[in-house]
Amino acid sequence: MSLHPDDEGLAAEYALGTLDAEERAAVAARRLREPELDAAIAAWEQRLAPLIEAAPELAPPPGLFARIEARLGGEVVELATLRARAARWRAAAVGAGALAAALAFVLATRPTPPHQFVAVLQKSPDAPAFVMTVDIDRLEFSVRPVAAQAPADKSYELWIIAPNAAPKSLGVIDAATGERPLTEDKGIVREATYAVTVEPKGGSPDGKPSGAPVFFGKLAPVGR
Amino acid sequence: MTSSPDELAALLGKIAAKDRAAFAALYRATSAKLYGVIARILVHGDASEALQEAYVKIWQRAGDYDAARGSPLAWMATIARNRALDEARKRRPLSLEDMPEGFEPAGESEDPLASRERSEAYAALLRCLERLEPDKRAMVLAAYYRGASREALAARYNAPVGTVKTWLRRSLADLRDCLSS
């Protein structure tokens, strides 16, 4: 075992569950950057997993599945997952090519501090896809289409929907735009729902979404 | 409700391609198990919230399931447990006595060794658990099944937290060595 003995113990306790909140969060963040630690945790999870067999079943409250389904809105992938998938996508077949290339670009060219989110906004494999990055600390975001071509006389528009608030436009999505500022506070940026709609060329004329979103979803925090 | 690992793995494959019907089938087949795991760690309302989050994560990550790293159920239960533990640690620390009812860790009131049906991996793990001192084994099981923190274990076993940490790490190292021998 090439891992430092302290880290081996830390990995074991992480899998067992006895670390306190701070230690858990620190380990969760480290495992994203340290493949050896990640592998040690996975090995411990695997060693202990047979105990699941002895855990008695308990029926969950009724109605829960509908609530889960309502939360599936769109595909918002955590960064950790994204890294693993980007590698796979790079090698993957046609169709995923553009997406993989965009992700490889995003991941290769940007450092990923803890408050950075990268999300693929896509409802299903054949639906339009967008890559969105959000930097919570700097309150900036960027979004660009990947494998998403708006019809000639239409534009894609991005919306932020704060809890219990009306959708607010974050602008039209086009390939040329870079980082843009967010005016909402950090809590709202983190909690809000993001949606993409198809609008007349140049964006919604009245500041309201004209139709149902082609995508909606929430940010998934990195590392927790 | 139980399904074979192959059936569950096939469902995960479909879910990776965003198949909602497969996701519903997976929920029917596994939610009682996962809720059983979570509800022993969190109190009622928190447990159903954690279960929802666990399934959302399973939906998002189904494509990452790797059969080489364990059974589908173990993979899902690990996601559910980690979610429950993150939540449990954010809450006021619970003593073991405050913890949700309904299950005494195997090794305290139940005899895990008496379990009839067990996989080879489970049998091997039990053999190794059996080699630990009874208190140490009970600690490991209370942590695994009930999400007991070092603090809760320290209070229960009347020992300093640092000592509990040392015991846990030694016990886990013993388990690992036993499993690999």
What residues in A contact B60, CB-CB < 8 Å?
A: 75-78, 81, 220
**Interface probe with A: pick from B38, B60, B90, B180, most Cβ of A within 10 Å:** B60
ipTM for the assembly:
0.87
Cα A53 versus chain centre, distance: 31
pLDDT of A86 reads 43
Our CA angle for B180, A28, B23, nearest 5°, is: 85
Q: How many CB pairs under 8 A join A and B?
A: 161
**Distances, alpha carbon B157 to alpha carbons A16, A30, B98, B140, in Å:** 18, 31, 15, 13
CB-CB under 8 Å, A12 with B176? yes
In chain B, the residue whose alpha carbon lies closest to the alpha carbon of A42 is B69
Cβ atoms A125, A100 nearer than 8 A:
no
**Interface probe with A: pick from B56, B65, B119, most Cβ of A within 10 Å:** B56
pLDDT of A147 reads 65
Pairing relationship of beta strands A168-173 and A154-161 according to DSSP bridges: antiparallel
pLDDT of B130 reads 93
The structure tokens listed for B93 are: 């620390």
In chain A, the residue whose alpha carbon lies closest to the alpha carbon of B62 is A81
Residue B4 scores a pLDDT above 80: yes
Q: Using CB atoms, which residue from B56, B69, B115 is nearest to A72? A: B56
pLDDT in tens, chain A (224 residues): 468 889 999 999 999 999 998 899 999 999 888 899 999 999 999 999 999 888 888 999 988 998 888 888 644 444 434 444 444 433 333 344 455 555 555 555 554 455 666 666 666 555 667 777 787 778 888 887 776 677 778 888 888 888 777 888 998 887 666 778 888 887 788 777 778 888 888 888 888 888 767 776 666 544 33
What residues in A contact B32, CB-CB < 8 Å?
A: 57-60
pLDDT of B120 reads 84
- Mean pLDDT value across residues B143-162: 92
Cβ atoms A12, A1 nearer than 8 A:
no
Cβ atoms B145, B40 nearer than 8 A:
yes
pLDDT of B95 reads 54
If one counts every other C-beta atom within 10 angstroms of the C-beta of residue B58, the result is: 24
Burial class (CB in 10 A: 0-12, 13-18, 19+), A21: middle
pTM of this structure: 0.61
H helix or E strand, kind and range, residue A117: strand A116-121
Phi, psi for A14 (deg, rounded to 5): -60, -45
Q: Using CB atoms, which residue from A9, A28, A49 is nearest to B77? A: A49
The sheet with strand A154-161 has its strands ordered as A168-173, A154-161, A193-200, A215-218
Residue B4: CB partners within 8 Å, gap ≥ 6? none
pLDDT of B60 reads 87
As a whole number, the mean pLDDT across chain B is 85
What is the distance between the alpha carbons of residues A12 and A40, in angstroms, rounded to a whole number?
8
**Distances, alpha carbon B114 to alpha carbons A108, B44, B106, in Å:** 53, 29, 10
Q: Give yes or no for B4 touching A (CB within 8 A).
A: no
pLDDT digits (tens, 9 = 90+) for B82-140: 999 999 888 755 555 555 443 333 333 344 444 445 678 888 999 999 999 999 999 99
Buried b (16+ CB within 10 A) or exposed e, B119-132: eebbeebbebbeeb
Higher pLDDT, A54 or B11: B11
pLDDT of B22 reads 93
Q: Using CB atoms, which residue from A51, A58, A75 is nearest to B36? A: A58
Name which of A10-19, B62-71, B159-168 the model is least confident about: B62-71
DSSP classification of residue A147: S
